[in-house]
């Protein structure tokens, strides 16, 4: 694959070099305990590899939203010990007031975490003096935080122009997976877009119709498209003011030879609560007091057949209100089909989005997908076809 960024393989001998590594250590914490260490574990490969190669590894990261103010409750000192435990080697906290002296005394192969980059108001402004201050602490720069790459901040973008810049292992894996899914995918390509609202994903839909062969629309947003096609969606979540926009997207899809799949049978209920009385009906039979809460079994099976004829799948957004049983059925069934096709080797499957990742975990298939992005905002901006500043700055 022709890549337009350098990786750790291109760094040459890093022995004794000070390497600034931007990671995403923005972990959820309750009473001083990290409640989900996914991001800490994701940072290990790059940090350990550089330390093993004899570099002085200085991790840069933000924590919370201190908005340019020093706030002890958002100090990365709180994350240093948890990261040390996950990394399995010593990690020192580097107070930003004395950073230069501390880094000077670091041994080859040592790892440190610099204080929260967002304590400096220049971080989010990508200010030249902040970039200078950080650049003076290192010889080389590695960006391993795809999830922060949609922001042009000093530690995510500015530094890449000041120091020789490389993608970390996590960033590399993410960029390769995204390239396989939408950059240079094998066709036919299917996209599944679901979730609550059309309004939050308009740009995603507009971009995808130009890129993919099959656009599968599910979740609450399908209701707006059904309404645009004259279906009475009863009491369903529906953005009636956006039916015109939905029509425009359907027309653009038509022009681009993208087949749009909307559900033709649906699961409805009068109340939105766990295990209420439900009916499975044709979309034209939804009563005025009923809500569409999931795609029906017939449409789900037909969508599975669409995936069987595709080589690539990119998925964002659940097909139904999956948190509330039994409205996870379509999401789980389609996810299992995608996972099985991936295991067989006939499908490259890439998924992302907070609720999507939760739904795939609920279905027990996240590990069977080719790649699952936990990047949230950055993943969505990439689905919109936007250039991410942190990625663009790594371009050779
Ligand atoms: P992601 O976080 O993966 O980008 P979204 O946040 O866009 O996904 O959408 C997820 C939400 O959409 C879930 O909370 C889910 O319950 C809701 N949802 C899906 N289908 C429906 C529906 N038919 N009616 C109401 N809410 C729905
Ligand atoms: Mg969400």
Residue 113: which CATH number?
Answer: 3.40.50.1260
Three-state helix/strand/coil letters over the chain:
CCCCECEHHHCCCCCCCEEEEECCCCCCEECCEECCCHHHHHHHHHHHHHHHCCCEEEEECCCCCCCCCCCHHHCCHHHHHHHHHHHCCCEEEECHHHHHHHHHCCCCCCEEEECCHHHCHHHHHCCHHHHHHHHCCCCEEEECCHHHCCCCCHHHHHHHHHCCEEECHHHHHHHHHHHHHHHCCCCCEEEEECCCCCHHHHHHHHHHHHHCCEEEECHHHHHHHHHHCCCCCCCCCCCHHHHHHHHHHHHHHHHCCCEEECCCEEEEECCCCCCCCEEEEEHHHCCCCCEEEEECHHHHHHHHHHHHCCCEEEEECCCCCCCCCCCCHHHHHHHHHHHHHHHHCCCEEEEECHHHHHHHHHHCCHHHCCEEECCCHHHHHHHCCCCCHHHHCCEC
Q: Which of 317, 328, 373 to mutate to test the pocket of ligand 1 (most atoms within 8 A of CB)?
A: 317
CA-CA distance, 244 to 249, in Å (whole number)? 9
Cα separations in angstroms, 313 against 16, 53, 223, 372: 43, 37, 22, 12
CB 261 within 8 A of CB 206: no
| 100, 189: one domain | no
| 285, 136: one domain | no
| 120, 155: one domain | yes
395 within some domain = no
| 278, 152: one domain | no
| 144, 229: one domain | no
CB 310 within 8 A of CB 141: no
99 within some domain = yes
CA-CA distance, 271 to 315, in Å (whole number)? 28
Nearest residue (CA) to ligand 1, atom 16: 321
pLDDT score recorded for residue 118: 98
Q: Pocket residues for ligand 1 (CB within 6 Å)?
A: 194-196, 200, 219-220, 237, 292-293, 316-318, 320-323, 353-356
Token pair of 45 as six digits: 């490969």
Residue whose C-alpha is closest to residue 154's, from 242, 61, 33, 275: 61
Atom of ligand 1 nearest to the CA of 358: 3
Helix axes 169-178, 38-52, angle to 10 degrees: 120
| 281, 355: one domain | yes
CB 215 within 8 A of CB 307: no
Query: How far does residue 87's CA lie from ligand 1's centre (Å)?
Result: 35
Token pair of 364 as six digits: 């027990």
pLDDT score recorded for residue 1: 55
pLDDT score recorded for residue 263: 98
Atom of ligand 1 nearest to the CA of 324: 16
| 128, 217: one domain | no
pLDDT score recorded for residue 376: 86
The parent domain of residue 38 ranges over 8-169
CA-CA distance, 290 to 236, in Å (whole number)? 7
Nearest residue (CA) to ligand 1, atom 5: 195
CB atoms within 10 A of CB 115: 21
pLDDT score recorded for residue 396: 73
Contacts of 271 by beta carbon, 8 Å cutoff, 6+ apart: none
3 within some domain = no
- Of 139, 169, 199, the last residue of a domain is 169
Contacts of 152 by beta carbon, 8 Å cutoff, 6+ apart: 126, 158, 389, 390
Per-residue pLDDT of 26-67, as tens digits, reads 999 998 899 999 999 999 999 999 999 999 999 999 999 999
164 within some domain = yes
Q: Which of 147, 192, 219 to mutate to test the pocket of ligand 1 (most atoms within 8 A of CB)?
A: 219
Q: Give the chain's domain count.
A: 2
Token pair of 286 as six digits: 């939804």
| 32, 91: one domain | yes
Helix axes 329-344, 354-363, angle to 10 degrees: 80
- Of 169, 200, 225, the last residue of a domain is 169
271 within some domain = yes
pLDDT score recorded for residue 137: 98
320 within some domain = yes
| 164, 190: one domain | no
2 within some domain = no
Q: Which residues participate in catalysis according to the annotation?
A: 39, 197, 354, 377
Cα atoms in the 13 Å half-sphere on the side-chain side of 148: 27
Per residue of the chain (396 residues), give pLDDT as tens: 568 999 999 999 999 999 999 999 999 999 889 999 999 999 999 999 999 999 999 999 999 999 999 999 999 999 999 999 999 999 999 998 999 999 999 999 999 999 999 999 999 999 999 999 999 999 999 999 999 999 999 999 999 999 999 999 999 999 999 999 999 999 999 999 999 989 999 999 999 999 999 999 999 999 999 999 999 999 999 999 999 999 999 999 999 999 999 999 999 999 999 999 999 999 999 999 999 999 999 999 999 999 999 999 999 999 999 999 999 999 999 999 999 999 999 999 999 999 999 999 999 999 999 999 989 899 999 999 999 999 999 997
Query: How far does residue 319's CA lie from ligand 2's centre (Å)?
Result: 13
CB atoms within 10 A of CB 44: 17
| 246, 116: one domain | no
Q: Which of 235, 236, 268, 355 to mutate to test the pocket of ligand 1 (most atoms within 8 A of CB)?
A: 355
CA-CA distance, 90 to 112, in Å (whole number)? 8
Q: What are φ and ψ of residue 331, in 5° steps?
A: -60, -45
Query: How far does residue 275's CA lie from ligand 1's centre (Å)?
Result: 18
| 351, 289: one domain | yes
- Of 114, 135, 169, the last residue of a domain is 169
| 216, 140: one domain | no
290 within some domain = yes
Q: Could you tell me the pTM of the whole model?
A: 0.93
């Amino acid at each position: 694959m022709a890549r337009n960024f350098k990786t750790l393989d291109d760094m040459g001998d890093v022995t004794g070099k000070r390497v600034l590594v931007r990671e995403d250590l923005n972990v959820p914490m309750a009473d001083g305990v990290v409640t989900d260490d996914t991001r800490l574990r994701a940072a290990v490969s790059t940090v350990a590899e550089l330390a093993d190669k004899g570099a002085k590894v200085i991790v840069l990261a933000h924590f919370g939203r201190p908005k340019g103010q020093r706030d002890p409750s958002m100090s990365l000192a709180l994350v240093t010990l948890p990261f040390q435990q996950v990394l399995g080697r010593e990690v020192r906290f580097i107070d930003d007031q004395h950073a230069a002296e501390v880094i000077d005394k670091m041994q080859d192969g040592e790892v440190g975490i610099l204080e929260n980059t967002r304590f400096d108001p220049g971080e989010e402004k990508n200010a030249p003096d902040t970039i200078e201050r950080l650049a003076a602490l290192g010889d080389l720069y590695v960006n391993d935080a795809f999830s922060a790459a949609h922001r042009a901040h000093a530690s995510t973008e500015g530094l890449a122009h000041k120091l020789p810049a490389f993608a970390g292992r996590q960033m590399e894996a993410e960029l390769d997976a995204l390239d396989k899914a939408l950059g240079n995918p094998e066709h036919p390509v299917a996209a599944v877009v679901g979730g609550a609202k059309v309004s939050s994903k308009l740009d995603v839909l507009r971009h995808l119709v130009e890129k993919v062969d099959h656009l599968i629309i599910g979740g609450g947003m399908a209701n707006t498209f059904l309404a645009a096609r004259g279906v009475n969606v009863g009491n369903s979540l529906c953005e009636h003011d956006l039916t015109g926009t939905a029509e425009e997207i359907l027309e653009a899809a038509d022009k681009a030879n993208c087949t749009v799949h909307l559900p033709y049978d649906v699961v409805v209920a009068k109340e939105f609560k766990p295990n209420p009385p439900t009916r499975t009906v044709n979309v034209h039979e939804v009563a005025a007091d009923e809500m569409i809460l999931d795609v029906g079994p017939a449409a789900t099976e037909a969508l599975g057949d669409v995936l069987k004829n595709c080589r690539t799948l990119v998925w964002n957004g659940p097909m139904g209100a999956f948190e509330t049983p039994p409205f996870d059925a379509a999401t789980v069934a389609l996810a299992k089909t995608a996972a099985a096709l991936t295991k067989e080797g006939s499908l490259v499957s890439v998924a992302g989005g907070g609720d999507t990742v939760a739904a795939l975990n609920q279905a027990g298939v996240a590990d069977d997908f080719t790649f699952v992005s936990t990047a949230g905002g950055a993943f969505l901006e990439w689905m919109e076809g936007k250039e991410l500043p942190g990625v663009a700055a790594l371009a050779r």
